[in-house]
Amino acid sequence: MRKFAFAYLLCSLLSGVSVAATAATGSAAQAASTESVQPAQAPAAAQAGVVNLNTADEATLERELIGVGAVKAKAIVEYRAANGPFSSVDELLEVKGIGAATLDKNRDRLSIN
């Protein structure tokens, strides 16, 4: 009876070790997978960068700016066509549909150079 109990305990112990090893391997693989994904995302963030109000097209404005959809992007391009290049980022407030909140959300994403 003692041999059976010992064998049962030994089997349970080895099963636990096996499960722990499998979990550790899965965690390591997941960590490696996460590390390989992060560098691929870094260039995308770097590409986002700064949007030049004087050269960006509607698609770029819509894609890169927070709170700017197709209608506001079109209004920005039309304002630029009618009034010439922006002389400052704050001039964006003159565009219909662009308020202070939208400008504040995007100020660090905008340039006029």
3-class secondary structure, 47 = helix
Least confident of 6-10, 34-38, 56-60, 104-108: 34-38
| Number of domains observed in the structure of the chain | 2
Q: Do 57 and 105 share a domain, yes or no?
A: yes
Instruction: Give yes or no: residues 30 and 59 share one domain.
Output: no
Q: What is the pTM of this model?
A: 0.58
pLDDT tens for each residue of 54-87: 999 999 999 999 999 999 999 999 999 999 999 9
β-sheet bridge partners, residue 43:
none
Write the DSSP symbol of residue 25.
Answer: H
Question: Which tokens go with 102?
Answer: 């939208």
Is 75 within 8 Å of 95 (Cβ atoms)? yes
Q: Are residues 33 and 74 in the same domain?
A: no
* Residues 75 and 95 grouped into a single domain: yes
Instruction: Give the amino acid at 82.
Output: A
Q: Are residues 93 and 59 in the same domain?
A: yes
**Domain span at 100:** 51-111
What is the spatial distance between Cα 107 and Cα 110, in angstroms, rounded to a whole number? 5
> Domain check: are 35 and 59 in the same one?
no
